[in-house]
Chain A
Amino acid sequence: MSEALLTATGVTKSYGATPALRGVDVTVAAGEIVAITGPSGCGKSTLLHCLAGILRADQGSIVYRDQDINLWSEASRSRLRRTEFGVLFQFGQLVPELTAVENVALPLLLAGSGRREAGEAALGWLDRFGVADLAEQRPGAMSGGQQQRCAAARALVTEPRVIFADEPTGALDQLNGEQMMTAMVRAVREQDSSLVLVTHEASIAAYADREIVLRDGAADPSGIGIPG
């Protein structure tokens, strides 16, 4: 693997008095797929949110391309998420009032692209995830699997350097989940992007090159044994 793209060191985060992360180190290399796994409540989603700059870590640094993004303002981190990162959640988090193509085009539109070129790019991505025929549908009229594919298309439309996916297949059945993962992994490999994947399913974690197992907010040494 090439050098580290994203390096988190000693990340801690608490919700009120409840500690969620107690000092976690993560390194993601360019082009690498990393799975974060662990039992429910181990802090894996919180870690992902901190890595993606959605949450601000209490302590520790999150260095992306030699810059500690944990120190950045919310607006700068939003801009980073829009341009360099892609984010995908369990329940798609599509804007219910916008059509599929508008949803996918949204990051481009927010970045200042024109309606037409954003729409064209969005359509291309919908096609890659096999849902181009739903372009004019609103999320309410789609199945969970279709919504999730749109959300994945939205996460990838800006051709981000790193994609963060939090239980992306959690709401999907086996086949839908696998198809989505396959499409996503292929896209990630093609663009030479990195993917950080939170999941509790071993069969989904197997899409990654490497696995980080968390337990009670810290890396779990007994869950390792992964070479490299």
Chain B
Amino acid sequence: MSTAHVLLGLLAAGPRHGYDLKRAHDDRFPQAKPLAYGQVYATLGRLERDGLVVRSGQDQESGPERTSYELTDLGRERLDTWLTEVEPPAPYVSGTLFNKVVVALLASGIDQATGYLTAQRAAHVTRMRELTAIKTRPGANVGDVVAADYAIGHLDADLRWLRTTLARVAELQKEVTA
């Protein structure tokens, strides 16, 4: 649902047309999956239907005809509600990584779990290094850095959990073999 909210947020600064919105999105969320052009128009259609945005004009200066949209009062209200709403912190403890480790421990024993954990750690470290390189690149903008920070923070948390789990598994193994 958040794509709709993101578009509402991008329109808060003033009227924009669809192509403009896509570009603004990709700029602000550089490390996110790029927004498809069609998805922008589908979402805008839904927002218009719900009365959250209205068409505000058309211009045809260069290239094809473009319709710009602007926020209605209802739309602004919806945006405000969304922004003040508290996200429930980790309501369900799950995630592919977590599930896989638990299943690996259950199904295939400590050795295989350790092997998986080591490989996963290496993959995490590599990804983290890539993201960090984005930050230190000369001319990195705030958007890049903030996005990289977000991902690095999560990877770092994963890594910490992985390291602790590796140590726990090793201790478990020591107990088993002892």
Contacts and interface: CB of A to CB of B under 8 A. Distances in A.
Direct contact of A and B (CB under 8 A): yes
B123 to A, nearest CB: 8
A227 interface: yes
Interface in A137-181: 178, 181
Contacts of B160: 202
B125 interface: yes
A226 B163 CA distance: 15
Interface in A41-70: none
A202 B132 CA distance: 11
A75 B178 CA distance: 51
A185 B125 contact: no
B136 interface: yes
Contacts of A209: 129
Interface residues of A, number: 20
B122 A225 contact: yes
Contacts of B16: none
A127 B136 CA distance: 18
B132 A226 contact: no
B126 A226 contact: yes
Contacts of B119: 225
Nearest to B128: A206
A18 interface: no
B125 A211 contact: yes
A206 B136 contact: no
A188 to B, nearest CB: 10
Contact of A202 (B125, B135, B149): B125
Nearest to A190: B138
B128 A226 contact: no
B131 interface: yes
Given A202-B156, A203-B152, A203-B156, A226 B135 contact: no
A186 B152 contact: no
Contacts of B122: 224-227
20 contacts: A178-B149, A182-B136, A202-B128, A202-B156, A202-B163, A203-B128, A203-B132, A203-B153, A203-B156, A206-B125, A206-B132, A206-B152, A207-B136, A211-B125, A222-B166, A225-B118, A225-B119, A225-B121, A226-B122, A226-B126
